[in-house]
Amino acid sequence: MANKFAEAWRHCVPGMETCTRPRPARWLLGALGVTFAGAGTAYLLLVGDRLRAGDPGGMFGGGGMAALGGALLGGMVGLLGGDRRGDRDRLRPSTFALDYASGGSPRLGERHPGELAFRFAPNYYFRDGGGRLRLFGHVGGLAGRETDVDPRPQNSTPVPGQEGTHPVVLSANQLSFGAGADLAVALPYPILRRSAHLGAAELRWRPEVQVRRHSYDDRVIERTMLLPLTVGIRWYLSPRQRFTAYVGPRLDFTSQATGEAPLDRGAPNIGSLYGEFWYDIDVPLLVKPNAVARLNGMLTLGYVHSRFDGNGINIVRAYGFLGPAYGGWHMRIRPRESPVAVQLGLGAWVGSGVTAVFSAGAVLPDLGGRRR
């Protein structure tokens, strides 16, 4: 019995030159997740909201839960055979894509349209195979004008100039823009003799800027989030599973203008720490060489520690501490011998509500050298 337990603990991925042991790696990630989630929760309970912007308790709690949830899901997939060698055509962000996020349900004559966004993310791989540079960004906004009403007047007839019986108190359009660069450099593997069993890793630097411009009847308000020093690490727990974390300081700018006046840009404010945590699991569906097309899927769990778009998880009185969580399924379809693939996605953001996200894009050949 002891030998069988030891062999299960030392499980290696067949076909890999260096023996990667996903089970110990996931146990370690799960233990780290419990530690950070517990520390973040205790920090919030002891300190509360007495600190100013930059309070790390919520980020530790949400990131720890994302790590623990990913380790548990990865373990279940691993038991079903998900620790074998991965496919070379695994999913990455589409080179060009169009996303649609569902809006809220209309109530009392309100309108909450969804959001459309055009995204791009071309890759350039270094010729030595040790890293890559990705330029990414998006342009989009609300697919229509959003309106909120005052529910208090109990009118029985429609308000003049409106369809509903409640007066409109807020009407706005929104433009969304973002751009950044993601530099990934592979660490030598293995760094230490013992680390050879826990999977390879990458260091990352991802500067980014996000802009939201809200246009009201007689006023324009623009919010900007600047992330100049966001750093991260990607840990390959197995050839098909990886955990990615990004953390960095955040600067917020708020500008406004009335009528035809130019925007009055204010001074930067130090916002709360920004963080992203993702667990990705590759699911090869059809990878036979003689097949008409190559099909690969990917399960994704994530948590973003930011309420820049007003979305976040609120638990009883813990309001404003946690950002939204994401769960989704993505699939790549590549016709045989085709350099271009189609990539589809379906997911949901869980925060103040549930927002469904649909994505369709094209994957073009990467630039530069070979992948590692």
Give the span between the Cα atoms of 18 and 5, in whole angstroms: 21
The closest alpha carbon to 237, from 189, 197, 278, 185, belongs to 197
pLDDT at 278: 96
147 close to 162: Cβ distance less than 8 angstroms: no
Q: What is the DSSP code string of 229-288? A: T-EEEEEEEETTEEEEEEEE--EEEEEEEETTPPPEE---EE-PPEEEEEEEEEEEEE--
Q: Walk me through the domains of the chain, giving residue ranges and CATH numbers.
A: 2-368 (2.40.128)
Cβ(183)–Cβ(206) below 8 Å: yes
Q: b/e for 248-274, b at 16 or more Cβ within 10 A?
A: bbbbbbebbeeeeeeeeeeeeeebbbb
Residue type, 203: L
> How confident is the model at residue 2, as a pLDDT?
47
What does the radius of gyration of the chain's CA atoms come to, in whole angstroms? 23
- pLDDT tens for 275-310 read 999 999 999 998 888 888 999 999 999 999 988 888
Bridge partners (DSSP) listed for residue 346:
329, 358
* Whole-prediction pTM: 0.88
Assess contact for 249 and 226: CB atoms under 8 A. Answer: no
**Which CA distances in Å does 290 have to 282, 319, 336, 340, 363?**
21, 54, 8, 18, 21
For 38-55, write each residue's pLDDT tens digit: 888 887 777 665 555 556
Beta strands 251-258 and 264-265, pairing class: antiparallel
Give the alpha-carbon dihedral of 252, 258, 263, 266, to 10 degrees: -40
Cβ 276 vs Cβ 302: under 8 Å: yes
Which amino acid belongs to residue 125? Y
d(CA 320, CA 56): 13
> Region 84-98: what's the mean pLDDT?
90
| pLDDT number for residue 5 | 45
Give me the chain's average pLDDT, please.
83
Q: How confident is the model at residue 3 (pLDDT cuts 50, 70, 90)?
A: low
- Other CB atoms within a 10 A radius of the CB of residue 232 amount to 20
Q: How far apart are CA 115 and CA 104, in angstroms?
A: 11
Chain segment 126-159, per-residue pLDDT in tens:
876 678 999 999 999 888 777 776 666 666 666 6
The pLDDT of residue 320? 74
Question: Per mean pLDDT, which range of 68-77, 101-110, 244-253, 350-359 is the poorest?
Answer: 101-110
pLDDT over threshold 60, residue 240: yes
Contacts of 192 (CB under 8 A, 6+ apart): none
What is the rounded average pLDDT of the residues 10-20? Answer: 65
What does the alpha-carbon distance between residue 65 and residue 36 come to, in Å, rounded to a whole number? 8
**Among the ranges 148-157, 187-196, 238-247, which has the highest mean pLDDT value?**
238-247
Q: How far apart are the first and last CA of the chain?
A: 39
CA distance 361 to 372: 24
